[in-house]
Amino acid sequence: MKKKIIDNIKTLFYALLIALFIRSFFFQPFYIPSSSMEPNLLVGDRLFVSKYSYGYSRHSFPYSPKIFSGRILKKLPQRGDVVVFKTPADNRTDYIKRLIGLPGDKLQIINKDLYLNGIKIAKEKVENSLSINCGRKILQVDTYEETLPNGVKYLAVYRKDGAMINTDQYTVPNNHYFFLGDNRDCSKDSRFLSSVGYVEFNNLVGKAQIIFFSSDKEKGSFFEFWKWNKIVRKDRLLKKIK
Protein backbone atom coordinates (compact mmCIF):
# COMPACT_ATOMS: atom_id res chain seq x y z
CA MET A 1 0.00 0.00 0.00
CA LYS A 2 2.78 2.41 0.96
CA LYS A 3 4.66 1.64 -2.27
CA LYS A 4 1.49 2.31 -4.30
CA ILE A 5 1.04 5.71 -2.63
CA ILE A 6 4.68 6.62 -3.31
CA ASP A 7 4.34 5.54 -6.95
CA ASN A 8 1.22 7.68 -7.34
CA ILE A 9 3.00 10.69 -5.84
CA LYS A 10 5.92 10.17 -8.21
CA THR A 11 3.57 9.92 -11.19
CA LEU A 12 1.82 13.14 -10.16
CA PHE A 13 5.17 14.88 -9.64
CA TYR A 14 6.47 13.90 -13.09
CA ALA A 15 3.17 14.91 -14.68
CA LEU A 16 3.44 18.35 -13.07
CA LEU A 17 7.02 18.71 -14.27
CA ILE A 18 6.01 17.85 -17.84
CA ALA A 19 3.07 20.28 -17.69
CA LEU A 20 5.35 23.01 -16.34
CA PHE A 21 7.90 22.35 -19.09
CA ILE A 22 5.26 22.56 -21.83
CA ARG A 23 3.71 25.68 -20.27
CA SER A 24 7.05 27.46 -19.96
CA PHE A 25 8.66 26.56 -23.29
CA PHE A 26 5.89 25.73 -25.75
CA PHE A 27 2.24 26.64 -25.13
CA GLN A 28 0.33 28.22 -22.28
CA PRO A 29 -3.47 28.43 -22.07
CA PHE A 30 -5.05 31.82 -21.39
CA TYR A 31 -8.61 32.91 -20.67
CA ILE A 32 -10.12 36.11 -22.09
CA PRO A 33 -11.83 37.97 -19.19
CA SER A 34 -12.64 41.29 -20.87
CA SER A 35 -14.10 42.70 -24.07
CA SER A 36 -11.11 44.86 -25.06
CA MET A 37 -10.30 42.67 -28.09
CA GLU A 38 -13.83 42.26 -29.45
CA PRO A 39 -14.92 41.34 -32.06
CA ASN A 40 -11.84 39.14 -32.60
CA LEU A 41 -11.55 37.74 -29.06
CA LEU A 42 -14.65 37.30 -26.89
CA VAL A 43 -15.06 37.01 -23.15
CA GLY A 44 -14.95 33.28 -22.49
CA ASP A 45 -12.46 32.41 -25.23
CA ARG A 46 -9.70 30.08 -24.11
CA LEU A 47 -6.61 30.17 -26.25
CA PHE A 48 -3.11 28.85 -26.61
CA VAL A 49 -0.18 31.27 -26.58
CA SER A 50 3.13 30.12 -28.05
CA LYS A 51 5.97 30.86 -25.64
CA TYR A 52 8.75 30.32 -28.19
CA SER A 53 7.59 32.96 -30.69
CA TYR A 54 9.75 35.75 -29.27
CA GLY A 55 12.28 33.73 -27.29
CA TYR A 56 12.31 33.47 -23.50
CA SER A 57 12.56 36.01 -20.71
CA ARG A 58 11.91 35.57 -17.00
CA HIS A 59 8.24 36.31 -17.75
CA SER A 60 8.07 33.08 -19.75
CA PHE A 61 8.03 31.18 -16.46
CA PRO A 62 5.45 31.04 -13.66
CA TYR A 63 5.76 33.94 -11.19
CA SER A 64 8.48 35.58 -13.37
CA PRO A 65 11.48 34.43 -11.30
CA LYS A 66 14.54 36.67 -11.54
CA ILE A 67 16.78 33.84 -12.73
CA PHE A 68 18.29 35.75 -15.66
CA SER A 69 18.02 39.09 -17.42
CA GLY A 70 17.34 39.89 -21.06
CA ARG A 71 15.90 37.45 -23.55
CA ILE A 72 17.22 34.07 -24.74
CA LEU A 73 16.76 32.92 -28.37
CA LYS A 74 15.01 36.21 -29.05
CA LYS A 75 12.89 36.78 -32.15
CA LEU A 76 11.37 40.16 -32.90
CA PRO A 77 7.57 40.42 -32.95
CA GLN A 78 5.76 41.55 -36.07
CA ARG A 79 3.35 44.43 -36.42
CA GLY A 80 -0.20 43.10 -36.07
CA ASP A 81 0.66 40.18 -33.75
CA VAL A 82 -1.82 39.52 -30.96
CA VAL A 83 0.44 39.36 -27.92
CA VAL A 84 0.19 38.47 -24.25
CA PHE A 85 2.47 40.66 -22.13
CA LYS A 86 3.10 41.62 -18.53
CA THR A 87 1.97 45.16 -17.80
CA PRO A 88 4.89 47.52 -17.05
CA ALA A 89 3.02 48.89 -14.01
CA ASP A 90 3.52 45.74 -11.94
CA ASN A 91 5.29 43.17 -14.16
CA ARG A 92 2.71 40.64 -13.02
CA THR A 93 -0.64 41.23 -14.71
CA ASP A 94 -1.22 39.58 -18.10
CA TYR A 95 -2.75 41.69 -20.86
CA ILE A 96 -3.54 40.68 -24.42
CA LYS A 97 -3.55 43.33 -27.17
CA ARG A 98 -2.55 43.87 -30.79
CA LEU A 99 0.95 45.14 -31.54
CA ILE A 100 0.69 48.33 -33.60
CA GLY A 101 3.84 50.34 -32.95
CA LEU A 102 7.47 49.19 -33.22
CA PRO A 103 10.49 50.90 -31.61
CA GLY A 104 10.94 54.40 -33.02
CA ASP A 105 7.41 54.61 -34.47
CA LYS A 106 5.26 57.70 -33.99
CA LEU A 107 1.51 57.13 -33.50
CA GLN A 108 -1.39 59.52 -33.15
CA ILE A 109 -5.18 59.50 -33.43
CA ILE A 110 -6.51 62.43 -35.47
CA ASN A 111 -10.24 62.82 -36.12
CA LYS A 112 -10.81 59.16 -35.12
CA ASP A 113 -8.16 57.93 -37.60
CA LEU A 114 -4.96 56.19 -36.53
CA TYR A 115 -1.75 57.57 -38.00
CA LEU A 116 1.52 55.65 -38.03
CA ASN A 117 4.63 57.69 -38.80
CA GLY A 118 2.47 60.38 -40.37
CA ILE A 119 0.55 57.98 -42.64
CA LYS A 120 -3.08 57.12 -41.97
CA ILE A 121 -3.72 53.44 -41.36
CA ALA A 122 -6.00 52.18 -44.11
CA LYS A 123 -9.44 51.14 -42.89
CA GLU A 124 -12.56 50.05 -44.75
CA LYS A 125 -15.99 49.93 -43.14
CA VAL A 126 -17.43 46.44 -43.18
CA GLU A 127 -20.37 46.86 -40.79
CA ASN A 128 -22.39 50.01 -40.19
CA SER A 129 -23.84 49.03 -36.85
CA LEU A 130 -22.85 46.30 -34.42
CA SER A 131 -23.40 45.75 -30.71
CA ILE A 132 -20.20 45.19 -28.75
CA ASN A 133 -19.67 44.58 -25.05
CA CYS A 134 -17.78 47.00 -22.85
CA GLY A 135 -17.88 45.56 -19.38
CA ARG A 136 -21.59 45.53 -18.50
CA LYS A 137 -22.41 48.13 -21.13
CA ILE A 138 -23.42 47.51 -24.73
CA LEU A 139 -21.84 49.84 -27.29
CA GLN A 140 -23.13 50.64 -30.75
CA VAL A 141 -20.08 50.63 -32.99
CA ASP A 142 -18.88 50.82 -36.57
CA THR A 143 -16.67 47.95 -37.69
CA TYR A 144 -13.66 48.43 -39.94
CA GLU A 145 -11.07 46.22 -41.53
CA GLU A 146 -7.74 47.89 -40.88
CA THR A 147 -4.61 47.11 -42.89
CA LEU A 148 -1.16 47.70 -41.41
CA PRO A 149 1.86 48.64 -43.56
CA ASN A 150 3.07 45.01 -43.54
CA GLY A 151 -0.26 43.79 -44.97
CA VAL A 152 -1.76 42.38 -41.76
CA LYS A 153 -5.56 42.81 -41.75
CA TYR A 154 -7.90 42.61 -38.78
CA LEU A 155 -11.24 43.96 -37.56
CA ALA A 156 -11.39 46.98 -35.26
CA VAL A 157 -14.49 48.64 -33.83
CA TYR A 158 -15.12 52.29 -32.92
CA ARG A 159 -18.15 53.43 -30.96
CA LYS A 160 -20.57 55.63 -32.83
CA ASP A 161 -20.59 58.27 -30.11
CA GLY A 162 -17.92 59.29 -27.65
CA ALA A 163 -15.01 57.79 -29.58
CA MET A 164 -11.46 58.92 -28.84
CA ILE A 165 -11.22 61.68 -31.46
CA ASN A 166 -7.73 63.12 -31.00
CA THR A 167 -4.65 62.24 -28.97
CA ASP A 168 -1.15 63.53 -28.46
CA GLN A 169 1.58 61.92 -30.51
CA TYR A 170 3.16 58.80 -29.03
CA THR A 171 6.83 58.04 -29.80
CA VAL A 172 7.78 54.43 -29.04
CA PRO A 173 11.11 54.19 -27.18
CA ASN A 174 13.89 51.83 -28.20
CA ASN A 175 13.26 48.19 -27.25
CA HIS A 176 9.60 48.93 -26.51
CA TYR A 177 6.27 48.32 -28.28
CA PHE A 178 2.90 50.04 -28.56
CA PHE A 179 -0.30 48.00 -28.19
CA LEU A 180 -3.97 48.70 -28.89
CA GLY A 181 -7.13 46.76 -28.19
CA ASP A 182 -9.29 46.00 -31.23
CA ASN A 183 -12.28 47.35 -29.28
CA ARG A 184 -10.77 50.82 -29.53
CA ASP A 185 -13.06 52.69 -27.16
CA CYS A 186 -13.12 49.99 -24.50
CA SER A 187 -9.48 49.07 -23.99
CA LYS A 188 -6.84 50.07 -21.47
CA ASP A 189 -3.71 49.87 -23.61
CA SER A 190 -0.56 51.79 -24.56
CA ARG A 191 -2.54 55.01 -24.95
CA PHE A 192 -2.77 55.08 -21.16
CA LEU A 193 0.82 55.86 -20.26
CA SER A 194 0.37 55.79 -16.48
CA SER A 195 -1.09 52.28 -16.34
CA VAL A 196 0.15 50.46 -19.45
CA GLY A 197 2.11 52.68 -21.80
CA TYR A 198 5.04 51.40 -23.82
CA VAL A 199 5.83 47.73 -23.22
CA GLU A 200 9.44 46.55 -23.01
CA PHE A 201 10.51 43.60 -25.18
CA ASN A 202 11.32 41.50 -22.12
CA ASN A 203 7.71 41.83 -20.92
CA LEU A 204 6.32 39.94 -23.91
CA VAL A 205 5.04 36.52 -22.83
CA GLY A 206 4.03 35.02 -26.17
CA LYS A 207 1.93 35.17 -29.31
CA ALA A 208 -1.76 34.20 -29.30
CA GLN A 209 -2.22 31.42 -31.85
CA ILE A 210 -5.51 29.54 -31.61
CA ILE A 211 -8.81 29.46 -29.70
CA PHE A 212 -9.18 25.90 -28.40
CA PHE A 213 -12.43 26.43 -26.49
CA SER A 214 -15.02 29.17 -26.02
CA SER A 215 -18.06 29.45 -23.78
CA ASP A 216 -20.65 32.16 -23.21
CA LYS A 217 -20.67 32.82 -19.47
CA GLU A 218 -23.96 34.69 -19.79
CA LYS A 219 -25.61 31.35 -20.59
CA GLY A 220 -23.94 29.33 -17.87
CA SER A 221 -20.71 28.36 -16.15
CA PHE A 222 -17.92 26.53 -17.96
CA PHE A 223 -18.03 23.91 -15.19
CA GLU A 224 -21.68 23.10 -15.88
CA PHE A 225 -20.71 20.60 -18.56
CA TRP A 226 -24.30 19.40 -18.88
CA LYS A 227 -25.11 22.84 -20.37
CA TRP A 228 -22.27 22.82 -22.87
CA ASN A 229 -24.68 22.33 -25.77
CA LYS A 230 -26.03 25.82 -24.95
CA ILE A 231 -22.95 27.71 -23.76
CA VAL A 232 -20.20 26.38 -26.04
CA ARG A 233 -19.51 28.59 -29.07
CA LYS A 234 -18.92 25.77 -31.54
CA ASP A 235 -18.03 28.13 -34.39
CA ARG A 236 -14.98 29.36 -32.39
CA LEU A 237 -13.45 25.98 -31.55
CA LEU A 238 -9.91 25.62 -32.97
CA LYS A 239 -10.18 29.03 -34.61
CA LYS A 240 -6.88 30.59 -35.67
CA ILE A 241 -6.28 34.04 -34.23
CA LYS A 242 -5.65 36.83 -36.73
Q: Active-site positions?
A: 36, 97
Q: How many angstroms from the chain centroid is the CA of residue 157?
A: 16
Residues 107/116, Cβ–Cβ less than 8 Å? yes
Say which amino acid occupies 144: Y
H helix or E strand, kind and range, residue 141: strand 137-147
Residues 164/184, Cβ–Cβ less than 8 Å? yes
> CA-to-CA distance for 93 and 130, rounded, in angstroms?
30
As beta bridge partners, residue 214 has 45
The alpha-helical segments, DSSP class H, found in the chain are 2-25, 228-231
Sheet order of strands, 119-120 included: 119-120, 113-116, 106-110, 170-171
> CA-to-CA distance for 238 and 212, rounded, in angstroms?
5
Query: What burial class does residue 146 get, using C-beta atoms within 10 Å of its C-beta: 0-12 exposed, 13-18 middle, 19+ buried?
Result: buried
> CA-to-CA distance for 162 and 154, rounded, in angstroms?
22
Residues 47/209, Cβ–Cβ less than 8 Å? yes
3-class SS at 63? coil
